[in-house]
Amino acid sequence: MSMIAESLEHLVSGIVDEPEAVRVNEKSLRRGKLLEVRVAPADLGRVIGRNGRTAKALRCVATALSTNGSVRVDVIDQERH
């Protein structure tokens, strides 16, 4: 797991009520990295935040940590997948 994925997992774990359920999967795509954040269904709203503000802040931090700025962060709804 990369430093960006580890940092993102640490940040998200501090936000949620069930930190042991936090998983960050890293995938390499043509355009860069994709980080899929999975949390307990009850914590999904907490990670997304009001009007998506928390998710946007997490994306901003991940982009700042990226060396080339090409990283995408998706919060995955486990009930749908």
Domains of the chain, by residue range, sit at 3-77
* pLDDT tens string 6-50: 999 999 999 999 999 999 999 999 988 999 999 999 999 999 999
Question: Looking at residues 52-59, what average pLDDT do you find?
Answer: 96
CATH superfamily of 3-77: K homology (KH) domain (3.30.300.20)
24 three-class SS: strand
| pLDDT at residue 81 in the model | 55
Which of 15, 26, 11 shows the shortest CA–CA distance to 61?
Answer: 11
| pLDDT at residue 67 in the model | 83
